[in-house]
Amino acid sequence: MAPATTSAEGTRIMVKLDDLLHERRMTLTELAERVGLTLANLSILKTGKAKAIRFSTLEAICRELDCQPGDLLAYETEPSI
């Protein structure tokens, strides 16, 4: 599954939560329980619909998935036309 993206002014922030969960054989429900977030809020992040993420949330996700923020988020510019 392709990472979720959000577009703003020619840039995309890609959220690779789905890939990390798959690699660690963990469900979104399990991660939600471990980090103390609702399944709905994590789903919004996973699908790329989130407008922001708190550092405390990012820290908790990285702790539970044993990853770095750069493993979870990626910045990609759209090609010039």
For 43-65, write each residue's pLDDT tens digit: 999 998 999 999 999 999 999 99
- Nearest 10 degrees: CA dihedral of 21, 26, 30, 35? -50
Mean pLDDT of 33-40: 96
- 14: CATH: 1.10.260.40
Dist CA 10 CA 46 (whole Å): 21
Dist CA 34 CA 14 (whole Å): 23
Dist CA 60 CA 33 (whole Å): 11
- Tokens found for residue 56: 């405390």
Residue 39 domain boundaries: 4-77
Tokens 């329980």 locate to 33
Tokens 């979870």 locate to 72
Confidence bin at 1 (pLDDT 50/70/90): low
Higher pLDDT, 12 or 3: 12
